[in-house]
Structure 1
């Protein structure tokens, strides 16, 4: 994007970067080898990136920025150069969220959605954050893919969840205890600034989705002089990161379930869950209760009351996926009725990943636990679960459950307090279940120079793929650098039948 001012000399880039990183024990000359490094660009070896003509490189960064002379790790980045060099406006970095999601190809996906001048005018930069994908990945050998599980229906289920989380945490300490404390958002933000210098840029431009908005907000707080234009889609309120952020998912998920239940009731002749939304809800809660008594067998997989709410949590998050959820629940209901069923389609994919994982998603837990502390008293979680059951019978025990952070070591740094006037464009869906609408409002509040684009009337996580109105506003901002004069409401695109 357009740079504000000439590119400074390399020595000034290095000095300015270190001054902004907030690590008093690291002298500028200790960081020189990272900020001045020359990287080797090669083919990425991934079909989508290679087809787009992108190249990849490994950037060396300190594991611990307070001790940069100690161990170093590598972060893999991708670059697809601007198609119109004469109109090049800078670099556009992108992160899809997670935390812990691979992002090497994410900038290309964003450019496909936006079109316009984005791929013509910007070098598109993707990256795998530290600990993820091709960036010194860390795994803990978990027997399940993720530590996010419902706590179940009673004390027995809660105790089972607590025991699982303790085991998962212990496995991570045993395998990565010396490394995992440094897999954090603040350190990833520092990595981004090294990437910026390696690319020879005075400022970066950034698009983040979901957790990627939190990473972007942290970067702007740590390196305010290094940002230009910022787009945050489905934002996280930094004041509620991370345990309250998860708790905020309960109410919109419960509301989204009712929307799906009304949709399913209208198609009772096809799916047979009930002719009214309350009847559909009763059918599904009955399945959870049955799974709590005895896991539901689907071929080689046992589906219990801890995992079934996770399937619902993902299934109700997008109106475009309602049919997929209905098909999956029909398989589960048939199996619960004693019909021999082998999971098929996306349900089989989900169960295979959740219960027979090739790789775990421990990096997500490392990031969350390394960023902000979680309560360690099990009774704190139990009280919140019990208090949530009346209003959130399906999702309350999920979003209030203990997780791996309950047993984690304390973070090495305090959470980042975000308060600045960065020129950010924030996009938020009112029906978002993963980053609740008030999350985007919260980020808008602490970024006093931001504008908020609200998308009503759609259950969705991610506004850019859902609204042509929003895409036009994003493209206009990326072209001109000028935010809308006021907050805006954008309607979603029509859903395909």
Structure 2
């Protein structure tokens, strides 16, 4: 029987008959809108509009229902939303499924959830000094107040459980007894929540680049620090075996010491905090992308003695996250609502201790930004219901796909979700890719996923697939390496000073 079923008075939403119209893209995709309750406990109250797309199965004789797809987030923000019907049109899934995309509540062309944009007191800094900690906390407090002012009393209802309920309204409106599902990133969590709430209404499901079933949203975000560090460590080991090419050291520890000397030098340049933050970002992004490992080694060497303009040029294509908000007076407030559905510490010293640890151990990629206070530290509402415990009880086993070096959703999350749900685990080995199926042109992964979604064939056990992005074809050193490598070991000893001391 359905767990957490819709209240009986919400059944009227299931009988809607939306008006479909051709999408502007003109490629067989149709658009429509569907109404859902803002609060499913009060279905007679305010409603939201959900923007939906559909691309009908191209082989009606083999049609096996609908497939909903979702990514982005948390909350679906930054995702493809209703564009998914177009994205999957070139796959074999399009032959047998009506492909359904939708903008989750608050995003895209669905009813928006606004938040006021608040100015920052301090810039994004991958390794902020102690003196910046209280300012970062005040920035988070201000951001949550901006969320409250922009979203008001509606915010508590922008939750994953309500996204799952919206999905079930879509199922009913489409006239289907069950859905099939393809979820990426946040969509893996939303799909698993749907399966726990409506198990007899979920058929085949694939979860790609997964959220850990037991982590809070803060823990999920903080795990990016460990993911970035693992990629940097793997790059350092590879680089150390090519000292003759890069001159950064003959062990991973020596390479990382050279990296930190370069970091210290860059910070002394004009606009050094921003440049150093860009360098930390580059170390995270380029170590995840195995094809850029040589480029990263050369960049670290070139930055070792670079002046300001040279450093700026070398880091010109790197981006700081989160970016400056330029939408005007308001922005989308969905992410800051959904991540508050789970609890956050309210003791600032907890954040400060984690920030010190991240500054020392996990400065690469997003750096300390994943450990510092976020709006959850100052949550202005109490979630109306607890999060769903993820279980699979009443729907078929499916697939979990995850790259072992995914820098956005740390690989242990995929392993844990596969074990929790009893799904087959498809691991992409030695890969920092994120969102694999249909995006990374990985023929082996695509074949496994399509064999299951199209033909219902699961692999007998877990599967490991190679990445489509190989490490650079650069030979290891012979004994002693080559003498002409470009390195950083000649930097002045003064640059080797205690890095923690620079943050006092």
Q: In the alignment, what sits opposite 1:75?
A: 50
- Mark the CA change 1:246 to 1:344 in structure 2 (over 3 Å): closer, same or farther: closer
- Is the CA contact 1:143–1:356 (under 8 Å) kept in the aligned structure 2? no
Q: In the alignment, what sits opposite 1:362?
A: 333
Q: In the alignment, what sits opposite 1:281?
A: 259
Alignment of 1:415 with 2:392, yes or no, is no
Cα shift at 1:261: 5.6
SS in 2 for 1:256: helix
**CA–CA separation in structure 2 for the residues paired with 1:341 and 1:200:** 56
Q: In the alignment, what sits opposite 1:44?
A: 23
Aligned pairs for 1:238-277 (under 5 A) are 238-260=213-235, 277=255
- CA deviations on 1:350-404 (whole Å, 9 max, x unpaired) are 46981252274532121111x2111111111112233444432446623322111
**CA–CA separation in structure 2 for the residues paired with 1:138 and 1:263:** 46
SS in 1 for 2:101: strand
**CA–CA separation in structure 2 for the residues paired with 1:241 and 1:438:** 14
Q: In the alignment, what sits opposite 2:344?
A: 374
In the alignment, structure 2 segments of 5+ residues that lack a partner are 473-504
- RMSD after superposition: 3.5
Cα shift at 1:460: 1.7
Q: In the alignment, what sits opposite 1:213?
A: 188
- Is the CA contact 1:151–1:401 (under 8 Å) kept in the aligned structure 2? no
SS in 2 for 1:355: coil
- Mark the CA change 1:111 to 1:273 in structure 2 (over 3 Å): closer, same or farther: farther
**Aligned mate of 1:439, from 407, 413, 423:** 413
Cα shift at 1:306: 6.6
**CA–CA separation in structure 1 for the residues paired with 2:333 and 2:296:** 26
SS in 2 for 1:240: coil
Q: In the alignment, what sits opposite 1:453?
A: 426
SS in 1 for 2:183: strand
Structure with bigger gyration radius: 2
Greater shift in the superposed pair: 359-368 or 379-388: 359-368
**CA–CA separation in structure 2 for the residues paired with 1:173 and 1:419:** 33
How many correspondences in the alignment? 456
Alignment of 1:424 with 2:402, yes or no, is no
Cα shift at 1:319: 3.2
**CA–CA separation in structure 1 for the residues paired with 2:98 and 2:294:** 38
- Is the CA contact 1:250–1:399 (under 8 Å) kept in the aligned structure 2? yes
Greater shift in the superposed pair: 257-266 or 213-222: 257-266
Aligned pairs for 1:62-101 (under 5 A) are 62-99=37-74, 100-101=77-78
SS in 1 for 2:181: strand
- Mark the CA change 1:235 to 1:340 in structure 2 (over 3 Å): closer, same or farther: closer
Greater shift in the superposed pair: 193-202 or 413-422: 413-422
**Aligned mate of 2:376, from 401, 405, 409:** 405
